[in-house]
Structures are given as structure tokens and as C-alpha cells.
Amino acid sequence: MTTARLPLFPLNAVLFPGLVLPLNVFEERYRAMMRELLKSDEDEPRRFVVVAIRDGRETAPTATGMPDTVAAAPPP
């Protein structure tokens, strides 16, 4: 078994294989990740993983199509 390390890119979206999603990479840590990927040989695949996230500081409080966590929370 081979273990590969791949950079992670959190995104509040679901991706489908074969479809193209243009990314606006503005955070410096992800811009640095892209620079590192672009340093690799053109003949080698430039791979990174897009991780779907529901909440956190990288997302809006409520994403389209996702349940509102504030409204869904039980009363205190």
C-alpha cells in the first residue's frame, strides 16, 4: 500500500468528477499551496484535495442548501 500526502483545500461546495470549477484563490496560505504545485514538473499531475466543509471560519454562517445551524439548534 502506498501513502500519498496531498494538500487540502477546504471549500463550501460539492464537486463532481469531470466538472470544472474555477477557483478564486485569495488567502495567502492557499496561494502558497498553488505556487508549490506549479513548481512541479509539467509532466507530473498537480493534485490537491478539495474538502467539503459545512461550518467554520472559512464558510458563511449558513450556506445555500444547508440547514441553518442556529435555527436547527435545540433551545437552551
**pLDDT tens for each residue of 27-72:** 899 999 999 999 999 998 888 888 888 766 655 555 455 555 544 4
> Which residues form the domain of 42?
8-14+23-72
Does residue 3 lie in a domain region? no
**Domain-embedded: residue 51:** yes
User: Looking up cell 435555527, which residue turns up?
Assistant: 71
Q: Measured on CA atoms in the order 12, 16, 22, 28, is the torsion positive or negative?
A: positive
Higher-confidence residue of 57 and 22: namely 22
Instruction: Give the pLDDT of residue 38.
Output: 93
Asked whether residue 1 is domain-assigned, the answer is no
Q: Domain count for the chain, please give it.
A: 1
Cα distances (angstroms) measured from residue 5 to each of 33, 37, 42, 45: 13, 13, 19, 13
The H or E element spanning position 35 is: helix 28-39
Residue 75 has pLDDT above 70, yes or no: no
- Whole-model pTM: value is 0.60
Where is pLDDT greater, at 54 or 8? Answer: 8
Residue-level pLDDT at 31: 93
